[in-house]
A and B are shown apart, each in its own frame.
Chain A
Amino acid sequence: MATIGINGRTIEVGDGTTVLDAATAAGITIPTLCHHKDLSPVGSCRLCLVEIDGEPDQIAACTLPVRDGMAVQTETPALVESRRAILEMLLRNYHNAGYTHADRGETEFEGWLRHYDVRLPDGVEVKPRYDVDSDPNPFVWVDLNKCILCTRCVRACEEVQGRFVWSVGYRGHDAKIIAGTDSTMLDARCESCGACAAYCPTGALDDRASVRTEPPDRSVTTTCPYCGVGCQFDLNLKANRIVGVTSNPSAPVNGMSLCVKGRYGHEFVHHADRVTSPRVRRWLLDGTAKPASPEDRGDWIDVDWDTALNLVAERFAAIRAESGPDSFGVLASAKCTNEENYLMQKFSRQVLGTHNVDHCARLCHSSTVAGLAMAFGSGAMSNSMDDIVEHAEAIFIIGSNTTEQHPVFGAMIRQAVLRRGVKLVVADPRAIDITEFAALHLRQRPGTDVALINGLMHLIVKHNWHDADFIAQRCEGFDELLPVLEKYTPDLVARVTGIGAKQLEQAAQLLAQNKPLAVIWAMGITQHTTGVINVLSLANLQMLLGNMGIPGGGVNPLRGQNNVQGACDMGALPNVYPGYQAVADEAAAQKFAQAWLVRSEPMHRVADDRTNAVTTSGKPGLTVTEMLDAGQRGDVRALYILGEDPAMTEPDSNHARHCLAATELIVLQEILHSETAAYADVLLPGASFAEKDGSFTNTERRVQLIRRAIDPPGIARPDWQITGDLASRLFSLEGRQPAGTHADWQFTDAAQIMDEIAAVTPSYAGVSHARLEQGERLQWPVPALDHAGTPILHVGRFTRGKGKFHAVEHLEAAELPDEEYPLILTTGRVIHHWHGGELTRRSAALLAAAPESLVEISPDDATRLRIADGGSITVRSRRGEMQACAVVTDRVAPGVIFGNFHFPGPANVNNLTIAALDPVAKIPEYKVCAVAIESASKR
């Protein structure tokens, strides 16, 4: 500790603190421009000069460490004169063309000019030195006439984003900020995260959308509707519109950091494709027969809510009466709130009486949930993102394109490598961006993960690098694992995976000898017919190395959608009630039967009383893919879909669309006219994330609020209200009444729903909107209102008691290349789009940055098949074909091509993918199928 005086006040501060930080902590403001607390100090603007007793010079406070006994003055007349001179110097090169910039109000620079009353001297005229709007980036506005060379943008790009787009070029008075080789931001591989603009103190870099617009009248802090990282930010609002996004430095996960979608991708909220009124097909209104054509279900008629909901209730009641509860399928939504997902599964189980409820987690992490439940007893990310980047010594990313799919976490990992020298090993068939930061990139053949992981464990055991104490004390089944590992020699692994023995050895050493090791995965592991055993292998690896239940370690599946974790937590799955209470568990079934108890009025009693009761079936319901098939067969007669787009996202989408077309009644609750809307009979307009209250649970089990910032368009309503209204109408139509403790549907706000969730879900027992509103940071399990949450799972004990090793063997993918279809297709996302692209394709800027379906092909294959970079290609599989634009790149290995699934119709990669399912989790094998490719011009 050091004792220093600042302006006569005595202050105790830690050694190594800078004078600036000491002053800030004491509430004393020293003016700064180049300084930002998130960025390394450079001491270049010289505004923060202070005087130190006994020293002749004025010294920059931002880079001056405190010394015991130091006496500092921060605002003497001499300092004020210096600051005014410096500000005047900056002003002599600052040219403001006079346009407005909405999200900023007064900039930091303008604020200091005003504070010190600095104006240009008489006769000095500033001429613009650069073009206003000098960079074509669709998201970021560049006007270097306002640049004061503080270099915050350069440092933000390096030290926050890890991207190195910016630098200072040239020298002296000619110095200016440059992107790449003084070219354009996008040429310099800019991700357009906007950090440079967020950190800019002058508006030289700004959000393009907020330039020349009116300032917002208010802002609301909320949670991003995109990936599972769970960033928070301030939505800037003007009247009933979103006009921009500003970083909120106190955001728990991301601080100032955001990605291109989170900062710039909210145009969909006001898009013309929004559904603003309930709509039903003409045949439903007319009471005529449904049109026979699968492609055209007839005209849409806009109706009022009563008409739409009564119509749905009547149809549902009729089908329930005729065919029973299991003739329904309910799709909840990973894009919607916890509260809404809870209501959807409650609707399914209580109102309809079926476990046929599922959502798109089936298609992304069902194998993770199943595999981790088998190994540990619960299936979620065990550690937290900040814990990993702060404490891991090594990180193993396998099957996660982290920097594109979870960009803010990806940026955090890049910083962990840059700042702490974390050893990063990436296993991925593609040379994805994060491999540039990896100590080692293992490029396995798609679908050979078990062999790879077994091979790593073979070497770890052989070198005696495993954690014998941990295994002995906390695990079981190790002895059964050993003989299997024995077989996975480096030779065998090289033959199966294509990874050489030397690389495998290096990888094993890096992973084993840098403890703690955090393992991170996503769809590259899960979307296989071997999804569950892939996950089991990773659980094996982390138990073997003793990396469970410790900071910086753990198993860390990254959830893809904003609330896919929450949708699972809420029991929007066919086999579990909220909080993963198994439907097969008699006690759980009884608990919910009581809580949700419904009484039928005598006149409405039906022969089979179970039709009107909460389902207590111990048998799990149908999964997404199974529901669609059942719809085609007629076993499922009605689908109630909330915010999902199966026509776009199901594998083998020709088949999926065929199933949807054949389904008798589809009620779609959506915000947009999605691809699936073409197959719907009733369209119920829901609310976007900005138009309703509720909560999302991010990938690390953190529950965070979203807030109603604007009104939904037209007569659209928050989804929880719609589901509740429908439930009440159906009850009333069927003469049923809620009778259990939590059977009611009369919610007046989302917080009440969360209270009900807490009452029936042990892991959410301590979660309430009130706590979240107070800024509490809660990661489940939160077993009680006075519990602070659980950042790390499995500390001291696994959920199931002992961790269980599972001896698993390599299995080939369902469809391998052959003469007719000689290439392996693997699929995924790109940074500018998300999910099926429903939201991101409705942002003009995102679409400008990534306008079409791209397929990556290796230079070898491209040469052989005479495919040019940028050329049009046709890709065919046994199930269909797609059109795309070829990108010739060594990101993919020969024999493998990669397509993204963001574009609909002929450009949809899911025309090609195969609906082969993992036997346990029923997840489809999106990551491997056999295709043929040719230049489109040939046809």
Chain B
Amino acid sequence: MQAKMHHRRRTDAAVDAAVEKCGRAAGSLLPVLQTVDRQRGCLDSNVVAAAADALGTHEAHAFGVSSFYSMLSLQERHEKVIRVCDGPVCMACGGADVRAALDTARNDGWTIERTSCLGLCDRAPAALVNLDACGPLDAAKAPETFDGFLGQAVDYTKPRPGELRVKLARVGLVNPGLLDCAVGAGAYDVLAEALQRHGTDVIDRVTASGLRGRGGAGFPTGQKLQLVAHAPGREKYVICNADESEPTGFKDRVLMESDPHLLLEGMALAAHAVGAATGIIYIRGENEHAAQLLEQAVSQATEAGKLGDNIFGSGFSFHVHVHRGAGAYICGEETALLESLEGRRGEPRIRPPYPTTRGYMGRPTLVNNVETLCAIPPIIANGGEWYRAIGTSNSSGTKLFTICGHVQRPGIVEVPFGVTLWQLIDDFAGGMRDGSHFKMALAGGAAGTIVGADALNLPLDFEAKQHGVTIGSGGFLILDDSVTAPQLLGWLLHFFEVESCGKCTPCREGTVATRQIVERFVRGEGRRRDLDDLRRLSRMLEQTSLCGLGQSVAWPIDSALKNFPDDFVCAD
């Protein structure tokens, strides 16, 4: 085979246009690929190579990126795509039947694909029809999606009785598409006032509030602000992690969809605190609706002088960009998110250094969850002490909890920390679905614990983990006895397997090996040796995985084995 040493530049008109729009920088690789993929329905090797050439990178790298993100396709695809969610919530609510119904009905103009949890758990079983949210579906209605059926979104404009709405306060009162409406309700007032004071005031108030990160890890937000503010370097960034992809999690989506200016104001306050001039919202690509609302909000706010250069004449400038992901749970891990932003595969970095000192483009970077940032304006407005007085001693303030699965009224509620699971189910979600009884809950998402009835009365806060209940980002899947622990675990391990980035050995291989074992139990073919292997592999995953994804695979395994040993029936 003859060598091809001479570089021949590949070109593609759509790539050139996308590069024009997205900018000629390494970080534009994913947006450029995504733009072309959305136009054409798929990518091919010429597009990938042309994107590499246009952005000054290499085709192998560009292909590595193209093939990493699940929303991009390197195989020909119809223009119209239905992505059917196979997350644990949808699977618990009949997702498999929906998929089967769609496959049977088939429509020549459509490609039907699977997708990991879409964060439409309040509409389970759900799907993404092109880029529109769709659900709840059932096997009968599923084929109607070919004709435009999208189902019905849950209405959050009115608080459920007993809610304490701080971050959701303006939901229902403002039109998310209109800046004036938000401003009329007080948006950016806090920012205007805060800009008259030094940024340390923001840090002081947030520190006093005891606010802890709402993405799952619960890191003290004031301390993180402080670390970034004090990190050496003139150029700093505020990045909003809106890659909400944890099964059962959709609170950030609701916040962004109903009050985008709250998030922008929170980011601006954080930027003022740490000395950043640029903010980036990394939003999962499946959530196009929220991404467009945010872009609209940014442009309206910038035009009105609430963002942009010299805000309120204070001399402080802050520009916000919206960056879409393209289907990768791992990008919710902050260092994987940064890799993705910089135009690479979303593979976690080695830490240290932490993003607070070396983050986006090697600069000090504040990465915070949507809900965390949304808590900042009310804290600055009302003071840290006010916030601290809400919730429990170690977990101050309110929390957005999502309750889904086998309950009457799945959805989201904002309540102070300390609420019990029982209250969430009974008081806020209308109790278990007709005629069924609580069996277990998946607490805190896939990277959470599988708990039984003894967890129902435990006050939920960051310390609940000591008692075996992780709250994670606040999502709870409630299940009745139609589901066994191995079934649930199988769905979760399937999720981890397809979402593992593949970088480190234990996660790449361990998620497959554990899923295979658990599926044996689902089929009733489990062996005693399998239980030992499952424990051994779980220990390996927790002990040796590179990042939180692999480590947390152990939590549902261990808790399921501990709390529901009888569900793991051995055939030998």
CB distance from B337 to the nearest CB of A (A): 16
Q: Which of A164, A168, A172 contacts B497 (CB 8 A)?
A: A172
Q: Is the CB of B7 within 8 A of A172?
A: no
Q: Which of B496-514 contact A (CB under 8 A)?
A: 497-506, 508-513
Specify the chain A residue showing the minimal Cβ separation from B328: A171
CB-defined contacts of A458 to chain B, threshold 8 Å: none
Is A186's CB under 8 angstroms from B511's CB? no
Contact of A172 among B2, B45, B502, B533 (CB under 8 A): B502
Contact A173 B1 (CB under 8 A): no
Residues in A whose Cβ lies below 8 Å from that of B509: 89-90, 92-93, 173
The answer to whether B499 touches A830, judged by C-beta atoms less than 8 angstroms apart, is: no
A538 CB to nearest chain B CB (Å): 27
- CB–CB A171/B8 < 8 A: no
Q: Is A60 an interface residue (CB 8 A)?
A: yes
Question: Would you call B59 and A180 a contact (CB within 8 A)?
Answer: yes
Q: Which of the residues A58, A92, A850 comes within 8 Å of B2, measured between beta carbons?
A: A850
User: B3, B5, B504: which has the most chain A beta carbons within 10 Å?
Assistant: B3
Check A433–B546 contact: CB distance below 8 A: no
B40 lies within 8 A of chain A by Cβ: no
Chain A residue contacts of B546, Cβ below 8 A: 43-44, 46, 60
| Contact between B504 and A173, CB atoms less than 8 A apart | no
Q: Which of A166, A173, A830 contacts B5 (CB 8 A)?
A: A830
A889 in contact (CB, < 8 A): yes
Known: A171-B502, A172-B511. A166 touches B3 (CB 8 A): no
CB distance from A235 to the nearest CB of B (A): 24
Please report which residues of chain B, range 510-569, place their CB below 8 angstroms from some CB of chain A when the two chains form the complex. 510-513, 533, 536-537, 539-540, 543-546
Contact B60 A44 (CB under 8 A): no
Q: Is the CB of B497 within 8 A of A89?
A: no
Q: Would you call B128 an interface residue if the criterion is a C-beta within 8 Å of the partner chain's C-beta atoms?
A: no
Contact between A46 and B350 (Cβ–Cβ < 8 Å)?
A: no
Residues of A within 8 A of B7 (CB): 189, 433, 436
Give the chain A neighbours of B62 by CB distance below 8 A: 181
Choose from B60, B510, B544 the contact partner of A166 (Cβ within 8 Å). B60
Residues of chain B lying within 8 A (CB to CB) of residue A92: 509, 513
Bound form: Cα–Cα A891–B7 in Å: 9
CB distance from A475 to the nearest CB of B (A): 41
Report yes or no: B60 in contact with A181, Cβ–Cβ below 8 A.
yes
Evaluate contact between B497 and A182: CB separation under 8 angstroms: no
State whether the Cβ of A179 lies closer than 8 Å to any Cβ in chain B.
yes
A85-B536 contact given A182-B45, A889-B8, CB 8 Å threshold: yes
Chain A, 150-165, contact with B by CB distance < 8 Å: what is the 0/1 string?
0000000000000011
B536 vs chain A, min Cβ distance (A) = 6
Q: Which chain A residues (76-105) contact chain B, with CB distance < 8 Å?
A: 78, 81-82, 85-86, 89-90, 92-93
Name A's interface SS.
Answer: loop
Report how far A404 CA is from B513 CA in the complex, Å: 47
Q: Is the CB of A58 within 8 A of B543?
A: yes
- How long is the Cα–Cα vector from A178 to B499 in the complex, in angstroms? 20
Q: Is the CB of A849 within 8 A of B3?
A: yes
Known: A171-B67, A174-B502. A186 touches B2 (CB 8 A): yes
B60→A179 contact, CB < 8 A: yes
Tell me how far the C-beta of B506 lies from the nearest C-beta in chain A, rounded to whole angstroms. 6
Contacts of B58 in A (CB 8 A): 164, 167
Segment 632-682 of A: residues with Cβ below 8 Å from B:
none
CB proximity of A348 to chain B, nearest CB, Å: 41
Docked-complex contact A173 and B59, CB < 8 angstroms: no
Q: CB-CB < 8 A to A86: which residues of B?
A: 505-506, 540, 544
Complex CA–CA separation, A184 to B45 (angstroms): 12
A82 near B2: Cβ-Cβ < 8 Å = no
| Distance, CA A659 to CA B514, complexed state (A) | 79
Closest approach, in angstroms, between the C-beta of B375 and any C-beta of chain A? 30
B interface footprint on A58-69 (CB within 8 Å = 1, 0 otherwise): 101001010000
A188 to B505, CA, bound (A): 27
A46 to B49, CA, bound (A): 33
A192 proximal to B (CB < 8 A): yes
**Alpha-carbon distance between A856 and B8 when the two chains are bound, in angstroms:** 13
Q: How far is the CA of A165 from the CA of B59 in the complex (A)?
A: 8
Instruction: Give A831 to B4 CA distance when docked, in angstroms.
Output: 11
A170 part of interface (Cβ distance < 8 Å): yes
> Separation in Å of the B450 CB from the closest CB of chain A?
22
**Interface residue ranges of B28-48 to A (CB < 8 Å):** 45, 48
Known contacts A58-B543, A170-B68; A148/B505 CB under 8 A: yes
A737 at the binding interface (Cβ < 8 Å): no
**Complexed CA–CA distance, A136 and B3 (Å):** 11
Contacts A41-B350, A167-B60, A173-B509 given: A82-B543 contact, CB under 8 Å?
A: yes
Whether A178 contacts B60 by the Cβ 8 Å rule is: yes
CB of B84 to closest CB in A, whole Å: 19
Question: Is the beta-carbon distance between B6 and A169 smaller than 8 angstroms?
Answer: no
Question: Which residues of chain A are within 8 angstroms of B539 by Cβ–Cβ distance?
Answer: 81-82, 85
How close is B81's CB to chain A, nearest CB, in angstroms?
19
Q: Judging by beta carbons under 8 Å apart, are B506 and A181 in contact? A: no
Give bound CA distance, A760 to B48, whole Å: 62
Known: A58-B543, A173-B512, A178-B64. A44 touches B3 (CB 8 A): no
Q: Are B4 and A187 in contact (CB under 8 A)?
A: yes
Smallest Cβ distance from A91 to chain B, in angstroms?
9
Please tell me if the beta carbons of B5 and A848 are within 8 angstroms of each other in the complex. no
Asked if residues A850 and B59 are in contact (CB atoms below 8 Å), the reply is no
Query: Does B63 lie at the interface of the complex (its beta carbon under 8 Å from any beta carbon of A)?
Result: yes
Are the C-beta atoms of A175 and B544 separated by less than 8 Å?
no
Q: How far is the CA of A251 from the CA of B139 in the complex (A)?
A: 68
Q: Is B363 in the interface zone, CB < 8 Å from A?
A: no
Residues A186 and B1 in contact in the complex (CB < 8 Å), given A60-B546, A165-B60: yes
Instruction: Please report the C-alpha to C-alpha distance between residue A181 and residue B499 in the assembled complex, in whole angstroms.
Output: 22
Q: How far is the CA of A321 from the CA of B360 in the complex (A)?
A: 83
Tell whether A149 is near chain B: CB-to-CB under 8 Å: yes
Also in contact, A173 and B497, with CB within 8 A (given A137-B1, A182-B67, A849-B1): yes
Q: Are B508 and A175 in contact (CB under 8 A)?
A: yes
Asked if A832 lies at the interface with its beta carbon under 8 angstroms from chain B, I say yes
Q: Could you say which of A85, A170, A179, A856 contacts B540, with CB atoms under 8 Å apart?
A: A85
Given contacts A44-B546, A180-B59, is CB(A170)–CB(B67) below 8 Å? yes
Judge whether B508 and A138 touch: CB under 8 Å: no
Looking at the assembled complex, report how far the CB atom of A96 sits from the nearest CB atom of chain B, in whole angstroms.
17
Q: Nearest chain-A residue to B500 (Cβ)? A: A172
A313 within 8 A of B: no
Task: Report how far A58 CA is from B328 CA in the complex, Å.
Answer: 27
> What residue of chain B has the Cβ atom nearest to residue A154's Cβ?
B60
Interface centre among A175, A188, A887 (most CB of B within 10 A): A175
Interface string of B208-233 (1 = CB under 8 A from A): 00000000000000000000000000
Cβ of A57 under 8 Å from chain B: yes
Contacts of B160 in A (CB 8 A): none
Would A169 and B5 count as touching, CB distance under 8 A? Answer: no
CB proximity of A197 to chain B, nearest CB, Å: 16
Contacts of A573 on B, CB cut-off 8 Å? none
Is A438 interfacial (CB 8 A cutoff)? Answer: no
With an 8 A cutoff between CB atoms, is B61 at the interface? yes
Set A46, A190, A830, A831: member contacting B544, Cβ < 8 A:
A46
Residues of B within 8 A of A46 (CB): 504-506, 544-546
Interface residues of B in 475-509 (CB under 8 A from A): 497-506, 508-509
**Chain B residue contacts of A181, Cβ below 8 A:** 45, 48-49, 59-60, 62-63
Q: Which of B6, B350, B508, B544 contacts A173 (CB 8 A)?
A: B508
Partner among A45, A178, A851 whose Cβ is within 8 Å of the Cβ of B504: A45
11 sample A-B contacts, Cβ–Cβ < 8 Å, listed by A number: A45-B505, A46-B505, A60-B350, A82-B540, A86-B505, A173-B502, A179-B60, A181-B62, A188-B59, A848-B2, A849-B2
Given pairs A167-B58, A173-B509, A182-B45, 17 additional interface contacts (CB within 8 A): A81-B539, A85-B537, A86-B505, A136-B1, A164-B58, A167-B63, A167-B64, A171-B345, A172-B499, A172-B502, A178-B67, A182-B67, A188-B59, A188-B60, A189-B7, A851-B2, A887-B6
Q: Which 6 A-B pairs have the closest CB atoms?
A: A175-B502, A89-B509, A167-B60, A181-B45, A164-B58, A167-B64
